Amino acid sequence: MLSLNFSSVLHGQYLHWFLLGAICTLLLFAVSWVIGFLLSLIVVAVRSSGARFLVAAAAGFVGYHRNVPELVQLFVWYFGVPQLLPATWQQLINNTGNSEFIFATIALSLNVAAYMSEDLRSGIRSLPSAQLEAARALGLSYISSMRKVILPQALKVAVPPLVNQSLGLFKSTSLAMAIGVAEMTYVSQQVENESFRTFEAFAVASIFYWTVSFLIMGLGTVWSKRLNMDGTR
Amino acid sequence: MLRPLAAISHFIGLFLIATLSMTSVAHADRLKDIQAKGSLICATLSGSQPLAYQDPVTRQYVGFDVDTCAAVAKHLNVLMVHKPITVEARIPELALGRVDLVAAAFGYTKERAEQIAFTSSHYQIPLKIIVASDSGITKFSDLAGKRISTEKGSTPELYVHRVIPSASVVTFQDNASQFLALQQGKVQGFAIGMASGLRFVNESAGKYKFLDEALAYEPTCLGVKKGEPELLAAVNKVLEDMQASGELDALWNKWYGSQTKFNISRGKLIPISAL
């Protein structure tokens, strides 16, 4: 009936494509995660600040990215935003030869920043309000008290949902295929189209995503153990 | 102890009988199944003017491929059931037996012929590259090292890799995105069959043009599942009849003829043995 032949998709040109796709996925994930995480810290600090205009702006940012599908966000950034820019800027972006990757990174990092900021916000809410009051009473500015007192504690609490978001981000990198980023999903489709070995091509992609997801979960466990306070799990 | 054992062995026995009888049904003639059902499941593309697209007013699927399907169904004395599919799904849908006939700009290649059975080629269209008229690109060698957009899994993608190997190919999901990438300067060329690409060139009012050279002349055929010789012979006979009676030319002229904005010639009906 079916004859599975993995070596037919794991040699020569196809293996080369798979490796490039894997590297692209990992790079897209790493860059989006770092930018998204740093941005989420800023967004959650702004959101908890109490200055009404800033809080509304942060809430609007989070609301847009949570309510619009990621694929639509990707299309808006890749096809929509360049049309709004002046022609010289468009030319500059096109000349990088890598505009797909850049726009995919922007879209994915903004999206994950919005979701991560909500997880951090729950972390902050789990802390007693006395923490912020005590920090302010000691003379720390709002930003310093966020940076040195509140966010470190909130992070310890929020590690499980943040690992969840990281896994989601890793799998969302496959959406970038729709705007031409040559990551793993795009490459596995390319291999399938050329070799007609449908199951083998997509099985390789599945095994890749599954393995790296396990690694991410492992990293999350290591991270939470290092942040461990006495008495917390 | 013995009663569950008896029940299990009964179940296994019934299961084996059911599977074995199903495998004998799997060898049945697809053409006979179609005639028994009274309907032919025919798949076409869905966003490709004028091959197969949704009429914006009536919301019905219309186009040259849709009409070809309907004509084949009429000649076989069955109803047509229409199914829209994507370019990449053409071969899997046939191989899995989910559709009977595919009329979807199906270019003949030897690799594809190993997966499905092609009918005689009912039209031949050059595969071309669209560029911006003011880009200064006039021949394929100007596109060396540049970026070209095409459809995933299509023959233009295949031939770009062969004819301009130094160009990097970027694929998007549908023709409109591929052309949009060209318009926004993200790619310098857009490789597509001339019949499908004419609408972009014509509607651009001179801003975009075809390069004179052709990547390849692609014979386009209908596709049926491999291993169904009766169905293949029946569809080929229908195509011959339609060619002889002029019906095929009439259908072509309706969508691509001189009074339409396309105005390209069809080519001939070429049997598969000659390809």
Asked if the model's pLDDT at residue B260 lies above 90, the reply is no
User: Chain A contact for B179, CB < 8 A?
Assistant: no
Domain count along chain A: 1
Within an 8 Å CB–CB cutoff, is residue A178 touching chain B? yes
- Complete domains list, chain B, with CATH: 29-125+219-274 (3.40.190.10), 126-217 (3.40.190.10)
The answer to whether A99 faces chain B, any CB pair under 8 Å, is yes
Number of Cβ atoms within 10 Å of the Cβ of B97: 13
> pLDDT tens-digit profile of B171-217?
988 888 999 999 988 999 999 988 888 889 988 888 999 998 888 88
- Which of these ranges, A157-161, B43-47, B110-114, has the smallest mean pLDDT? B110-114
In a domain, A149, yes or no: yes
Domain annotation covers residue A208:
yes
- Answer yes or no: is A233 within a domain: no
Q: Chain B: give the shortest CA distance to residue A135, in Å.
A: 51
pLDDT at residue B19 greater than cutoff 70: no
Contact check, Cβ <8 Å, A189/B170:
no
| Residue A166 included in any domain | yes
For chain A, positions 185-214, list CB contacts with chain B under 8 A: 186, 189-190, 192-193, 196, 198
Q: What is the mean pLDDT of residues B40-64?
A: 90
Is pLDDT above 60 for B23?
Answer: no
Answer whether B88 sits within 8 Å of A193, measured CB to CB: yes
Residue span of the structural domain in which A199 resides: 9-226
Domain of residue A219, CATH code = 1.10.3720.10
Q: Which residue of B has its CA nearest to A181?
A: B170
ipTM: 0.75
Q: Which of A103, A190, A193 to mutate to test the interface with B (most CBs of B within 10 A)?
A: A193
Residue A232 falls within a domain, yes or no? no
* B13 token code pair: 């026995």
Answer yes or no: is A150 within a domain. yes
Residue A98 lies inside a defined structural domain of this protein = yes
Q: What does each of the 233 residues of chain A score in pLDDT, given as a tens digit?
A: 456 778 877 888 899 999 999 999 999 999 999 999 999 999 999 998 888 999 999 999 999 999 999 999 999 999 999 888 888 888 888 888 788 999 999 999 999 999 999 999 999 999 998 999 999 999 999 999 999 999 989 998 899 999 999 999 999 999 999 998 999 999 998 888 888 788 889 999 999 999 999 999 999 888 888 877 444 55
Q: Is the pLDDT of residue B24 over 50?
A: no
